[in-house]
Amino acid sequence: MKKILYILLILPLIVGCKEKKTKKAVAFVPEISVTKPVVEDVELTKDYPGYLTSEQTVNLVARVNGTLESIKYEPGTRVKKGQILFVIEPTIYKNDVAQAQATLLTSQSQLEYSRNNYVRMQQALKSDAVSQIQVIEALANVREDSASVNNAVAALNTANTNLNYCYVKAPFDGIVSKNVIDVGSYISGATEATTLATIYRDDKMYAYFNISDNQWISMTSGGKQLPSEIMVKLGTDGTENYPAKIDYLSPDVDMSTGEITLRASFNNDDKLLKSGLYVSITLPYAEDKNAILVKNASMGTDQLGKYLYVVNDSNTVEYRHIEVGQIIDDTMRIVTKGISPNERYVTIGLMKVRNGMKIKPVNE
């Protein structure tokens, strides 16, 4: 009876052990997405910090003395070429124009009289009614009065120029800054040019950036030409791209920095870009033939650097340290060492795998 009871007690233990052994024998193998590297020719680029300037930036200055009478624009708005922006007390200069015109009329009348007198003297000389000296004096009067007319014309031109300076106009279409001088202020523009505001022509923008002399030599060695087209990037993570063309290269190297200045231009059709914005310049410099590309999101990072989980022929995961190059199109990255084109690597779920783990690969 005791033996039967003992057997009944240990029988569930034996059955439970068999069930555990059965479960252990059927281990779970997860399905993991894998793919092979992409092999293609890629253009190598390098990014440089830069800044933008407007195509033209001009200070609007006062060039005559007087009180600033009025401001004819709203600060920060766009204006047209020739539009009057500031008016500086023109009354005195209008009077100067009127006086110069009167002087010119007087000089012209005197010149007309001198010429007529000279003609009469020449006719009288034929009948010996006057002497040769009198004719010479008449000719001298003509020349003197002619010079007076020229002086009067110059004085009138100067008076008109000064009167025009009273009306400060936009030299081109653009956007104007706030006024520096307020209405009612006295301006000594004839003594020293006084800035009233600044106008920006922003139909086109210039992007300036610098590269080191060593990089310049590397990019142009062996007769290579620097590409004329670049990409100007703005916004968060450079999401706004503007194709531009290099149109200026400094003729010398800055001795203090060891850098060469380059400029690229591009259209600002939407007028959203502003002078002084910091940008990133992407400059192509070489081509990598048959580059090995893997998904940038499939790479992990540890103390040794970048790594991939490579899947071998037996579907076992291998931790693989890799050496990488630049990122291509924000999603792929060049791998220079650590994986071959025919090998597979884990694309997603890096936290679900580990070195030496068996998986069921699912090809993307």
Q: Identify the pLDDT of residue 24.
A: 52
pLDDT score for 218: 83
3-state secondary structure of 126: helix
Report the CATH number of the 46-54+201-286 domain. 2.40.30.170
Task: Find the largest Cα–Cα distance for the chain.
Answer: 181
Calculate the alpha carbon distances from 272 to 54, 129, 226, 269 in Å: 12, 83, 29, 8
- Which pLDDT value is given to residue 94? 95
Domain map of the chain by residue range?
Answer: 31-42+289-363, 46-54+201-286, 64-84+167-200, 91-165
pLDDT of residue 14: 52
The pLDDT of residue 237 is: 65
Architecture of the domain defined by 91-165: Orthogonal Bundle (1.10)
What pLDDT score does 8 carry? 47
Residues 6+ apart with CB under 8 A from 116: none
Give the Cα separation of 34 and 317 in Å (integer): 11
DSSP conformation class of 236: G
Report the alpha-carbon distance of residue 98 to residue 159 in Å, rounded: 9
- Radius of gyration for the alpha carbons in the chain, expressed in angstroms and rounded: 43
Nearest CA to 326 out of 293, 300, 280, 281 is that of 293
The two domains 46-54+201-286 and 91-165 share their CATH topology (first three levels equal): no
Q: How long is the chain? A: 364
Q: Span 31-42+289-363: which CATH code?
A: 2.40.420.20
Per-residue pLDDT of the chain (364 residues; tens, 9 = 90+): 545 544 444 555 554 555 555 445 557 888 899 999 999 998 888 889 999 999 999 999 999 999 999 999 999 999 999 999 999 999 999 999 999 999 999 999 999 999 998 888 888 888 888 788 888 888 899 899 999 999 999 999 999 999 999 999 999 999 999 999 999 999 998 888 899 999 999 999 999 999 998 888 888 877 777 788 899 998 766 678 899 999 999 999 999 999 999 999 999 988 889 999 999 999 888 888 999 999 999 999 998 899 999 999 999 999 999 999 888 887 899 999 999 999 999 998 888 889 999 989 988 8
Residue 90: strand, helix, or coil: coil
DSSP letter assigned to residue 43: E
Q: Which residue has the tokens 């999401």?
A: 239
Going by the DSSP 8-state scheme, the letter that residue 4 receives in this structure is: H
* Residue-wise DSSP of 196-220: EEEEEEEEEEEEEEEEEHHHHHHHH
Q: Which one-letter DSSP state was computed for residue 338? A: S
